[in-house]
A and B are shown apart, each in its own frame.
Chain A
Amino acid sequence: MSAATSAIKPRLLAPLALSGPTTLFFIGLVLLPLLLTVILSFNSYDYTAGIQSDFTFANYLTVLQDEYYLSTFWRTLRLALLTTVITVLIGVPEAYILSNMRKPWRSIFLLVIIGPLLVSVVVRTFGWSMLLGKNGFVNSALALVGLEPVQLLYTETAIVIGLVHIMLPFMVIPVWTVLQKLDPTVEAAALTLGASRFTALRRIVFPQASLGILSGSLIVFALSASSFAIPGLLGGRRLKMAATLVYDEFLIELNWPLGATIAIIVLVANLVIMLAYNRLIERQAKRKLG
């Protein structure tokens, strides 16, 4: 009996000892700064006296009543959604083609897809601004065929193009992983039952990949909604998204509490949207795919 009770102790301590360091790390690097930001968002700011350590809802009221902030939030949501939809439309077929490739080509093209992640976002975004700029490649090409030049840089289109380019690997990889696990004879079965290739993809292959599409779109949406470099460089000074707005408040207006408030609102909105979406799709997929 006594031997058994003394044996329990190390068994209880082991999980604590193993998870302790990461927990402390997580608390120190994620929870604590987050808590400080929340506290900061309830402080008030005075342009002459700086941050006051009081408690007020004024920041939240300001942000939620101001047309400028609301329109920026709306733009952030719209562009993130649009980016997600486009990456699904491009990334899912791309993943399918990738999963059907033969031996050497598959690894080569996987590298081509992941490759851009090895280059800094800022560098890639500057690449896009050169392509889309007034005298950039796109406009030169349009001029060659005798068309009017178009304003692409510093528009929402430019932001979406940049975001889609950077987010694609985050869609392709989870979908590809799921497709790899599918039984190829299931698709063959659809063909023998009279389905065209396209119908077999639409009704049989892609629905089975729905969990991969779900995780891919959650990653893409979250990263797009909080992206900073791309809207900053391709959207210019006037087209703001949530992250650039927070940057402005912190570093240009120096109004830290207001910046913190925007950051918290974006975080909460992002969480609510993602959790709702996750529940909606996952519940359906769980029931069907187990």
Chain B
Amino acid sequence: MSFLNLDKVSKFYGPVAAVHDFGLAVEKGEFISLLGPSGCGKTTTLQMITGLVRPSAGTITMGGRDITHLPPPKRELGVVFQSYALFPHMTVAQNVSFGLEMRKVAKAERDRRIKEILALVHLSALADRYPREMSGGQRQRVAIARALVINPPVLLLDEPLSNLDAQLREEMQFELRRIQQTVGITTIMVTHDQAEALSISDRVVVMEKGRITQVDTPYELYEHPRNDFISSFVGKSNFLRATSAFNGKGAAISIDNTQIRFNTDRREPDGKVSVFIRPEKLRLTAPAEGQIQGKVTTRYFMGSQWLVSAETPAGVLAVAVPNLGAPPPVEGETVGLAWQSADCRVLAGAAK
């Protein structure tokens, strides 16, 4: 039995299912991300774990105890809200102290723990500031400290980084992971940012329209997305129009005039499939050497890499070219595109 279990948890608002049959087992110390576009039910799922929203069906257990209908104060979980939800009329120390006071922790012990946790989030110098006198990143740290100081069994983060600017967000991502690993706390984070989910989680739960579509480690999720929604939502991807002809051993996929063999038992009635490949797995070659030819339509310089788009008979393909010094071909040039068939995934249905 895992530490935190959600079993067939659902939430209905009238006839609409915000979350449907959500099942997940979280191990102690794990960092889980709930990833999905807005309105996919990830925040509702988190709120059902906090107790702020009551599940319509299903059970939630924590440490073997059924907490499905326990009110929020009894769950003793650490929650960091998207808006941080700091108490504006209290100083940082008072904010952090609140949860301890609710637990009737003695003054001396309280002061010691506040000091300890503020040191962990690097805020020791700002204990007497009010939230409005702090930057977004600092408020975020206060919110984390306030949630962690009560030694909760689980830390829940609702879009914790969405209110920060790009640079700070990246910094806080790693900071969040550092804090999580220092404390060793089981953590569930809700996010719509795939980069965030991939970089710091142990496992990612992808949600779509209230249902789980895939649960995997970040690497597996990126390399083996289960459907085209996930492959386009997680990272950038190309879809090539292709036809498949099934024979005994596998499918022969034809892209333009190139044949690729796949060991798959998937049989498409109309033979129309799409082949999915990541931009960084494509290589630009001389026109004659690639598996397919194309004409460069745009190229963007991203610093560490170039993003080149080429118009090919199988559709527009994006290619990520690492910036190794030599600039890639310019717009209008004809290029060849090459890939290894091991890097391709075949998905049902024609590419959109």
B is a partner of A = yes
**Distance, CA A204 to CA B130, complexed state (A):** 14
Asked whether A35 is an interface residue with its Cβ less than 8 Å from the other chain, the reply is no
| A290 touching B130 in the complex, CB below 8 Å, given contacts A192-B52, A207-B89 | yes
Q: Which residue of B lies closest to A189 (CB)?
A: B85
A132 to chain B, nearest CB (A): 41
Q: Across the interface, do B87 and A192 meet the contact criterion of CB distance under 8 Å? A: no
> How would residues 76 to 92 of chain B score, 1 for a CB under 8 Å from any chain A CB and 0 otherwise?
11110111011111100
Within the assembled complex, what's the spacing in Å between the Cα atoms of A282 and B22? 49
Q: Which listed residue (A192, A195, A287, A290) contacts B77, Cβ 8 A?
A: A192
- Kindly supply a per-residue 1/0 record for chain A positions 189-209, scoring 1 wherever the CB is within 8 Å of any chain B CB and 0 otherwise: 111111110010001100110
Find out whether the CB atom of B87 lies under 8 angstroms from the CB atom of A190.
Answer: yes
B102 touches A199 (CB 8 A): yes
A192-B72 Cα distance, complex, nearest whole Å: 5
Chain B contact residues, majority secondary structure: loop
B10 interfacial contact with A, CB 8 Å: no
B residues within 8 A CB of A204?
Answer: 87
> Given A290-B130, A290-B132, A195–B98 Cβ distance below 8 Å?
yes
Give min CB distance, A190 to chain B, whole Å. 7
Q: Is A6 an interface residue (CB 8 A)?
A: no
Partner of A193, one of B52, B88, B130, B146: B146
- Asked if A288 is an interface residue, CB under 8 A from chain B, the answer is yes
Instruction: Count how many chain B residues have C-beta atoms less than 8 Å from C-beta atoms of the other chain.
Output: 28
A120 at the interface (CB under 8 A from B): no
Check A54 for interface membership: any CB of B closer than 8 A.
no
User: Which listed residue (A183, A195, A290) contacts B83, Cβ 8 A?
Assistant: A183
Contacting pair A193 B98 (CB below 8 A): yes
Query: Please, how many angstroms separate the alpha-carbon atoms of A168 and B150 in the complex?
Result: 41
- Check if A117 is an interface residue, CB within 8 A of chain B: no
* B88 contacts A196, C-beta separation under 8 Å: no
B 86-116 binary contact with A (CB < 8 Å = 1; else 0):
1111100000001100110000000000000
Tier of interface size on chain A: 20 to 34
Min CB–CB distance A69 → chain B (angstroms) = 42
Contacts A188-B52, A199-B102, A290-B130; is A193 near B85 (CB within 8 Å)? no
Given contacts A188-B81, A193-B150, A196-B73, contact A288 B88 (CB under 8 A): yes
A192 contacts which of B79, B82, B83, B90 (Cβ < 8 Å)?
B79
Is B293 an interface residue, CB under 8 A from the partner? no
Task: Check if A5 is an interface residue, CB within 8 A of chain B.
Answer: no
A194-B99, A195-B98 are known contacts. Are A188 and B89 too (CB-CB below 8 A)? no
The yes or no answer to A48 lying at the interface (CB within 8 A) is no
Residues of A within 8 A of B52 (CB): 188, 191-192
Closest to B130 in A: A288
Q: Residue B75 at the A interface, CB < 8 A?
A: yes
Query: Quick check: B88 and A189 within 8 Å, CB to CB?
Result: no
CA distance A287 to B90 in the complex (A): 10
A206-222 interface code vs B (CB 8 A; 1 in, 0 out)? 01101000000000000
A72 to chain B, nearest CB (A): 39
Q: With A and B bound together, what is the CA distance between A7 and B81 in angstroms?
A: 53
- A208: B residues at CB distance < 8 A: 87-89
Note all chain B residues with C-beta closer than 8 A to A210. Answer: 89
A289 at the binding interface (Cβ < 8 Å): yes
How many Å lie between the Cα of A186 and that of B98 in the bound state?
12
Q: Could you say which residues of chain A place their CB within 8 Å of the CB of B85?
A: 183, 185-186, 188-189
Q: How far is the CA of A194 from the CA of B70 in the complex (A)?
A: 12
Please, how many angstroms separate the alpha-carbon atoms of A189 and B102 in the complex?
Answer: 12
- 5 A-B pairs besides A188-B50, A194-B76, A289-B132 with CB distance below 8 A are A189-B85, A190-B98, A192-B79, A207-B89, A288-B130
14 chain-A/chain-B pairs, Cβ below 8 angstroms: A188-B72, A188-B79, A189-B81, A189-B87, A189-B146, A191-B73, A192-B75, A194-B73, A194-B76, A194-B103, A196-B73, A204-B87, A210-B89, A289-B89
Chain B residues packing against A (C-beta within 8 Å): 50-52, 71-73, 75-79, 81-83, 85-90, 98-99, 102-103, 130, 132, 146, 150
